[in-house]
Amino acid sequence: KAGVTQTPRYLIKTRGQQVTLSCSPISGHRSVSWYQQTPGQGLQFLFEYFSETQRNKGNFPGRFSGRQFSNSRSEMNVSTLELGDSALYLCASSFRWDRGYEQYFGPGTRLTVT
């Protein structure tokens, strides 16, 4: 079974621009969560989607948004990029959302904001 895939793997953007990252979950998984990983803050939860609905949201500004499509693929968008948004963005998929199920991570998208 193929794992979680994320595209693109690397991205360089300029302050003020916006960016869209994509995640395809493991086949059959309907929950997709997004995390931000930085050396200073570690791994932090951004949001979780299940059946095209946002189920939970972490403590991030409104510039961070996401969506999920009917095939469970998910995208996250960051608008008006800031230097502090430079991070590894990780997507994780799970079979369900309501119980704390096993989550499997993709390789991440490395975003650099200059």
Partner 1 sequence: GENVEQHPSTLSVQEGDSAVIKCTYSDSASNYFPWYKQELGKGPQLIIDIRSNVGEKKDQRIAVTLNKTAKHFSLHITETQPEDSAVYFCAASMGGNAGNMLTFGGGTRLMVKP
Positions that interact with partner 1 (CB under 8 A): 4, 31, 33, 35, 42-45, 48, 50, 55-56, 58, 90, 92, 94, 97-108
Compare residues 48 and 85 and give the one whose CB is closer to partner 1: 48
Of the candidates 37, 53, 15, 10, the one whose C-alpha atom is nearest the C-alpha of residue 92 is 37
The dihedrals phi and psi of 73, each to the nearest 5 degrees, come to -60, 150
Of the candidates 21, 31, 41, the one whose C-alpha atom is nearest the C-alpha of residue 93 is 31
Least CB distance to partner 1 at residue 26 (A): 12
Compare residues 26 and 113 and give the one whose CB is closer to partner 1: 26
Least CB distance to partner 1 at residue 80 (A): 25
Report how far residue 1's alpha carbon sits from residue 113's, in angstroms, rounded to the nearest whole number. 34
Compare residues 20 and 107 and give the one whose CB is closer to partner 1: 107
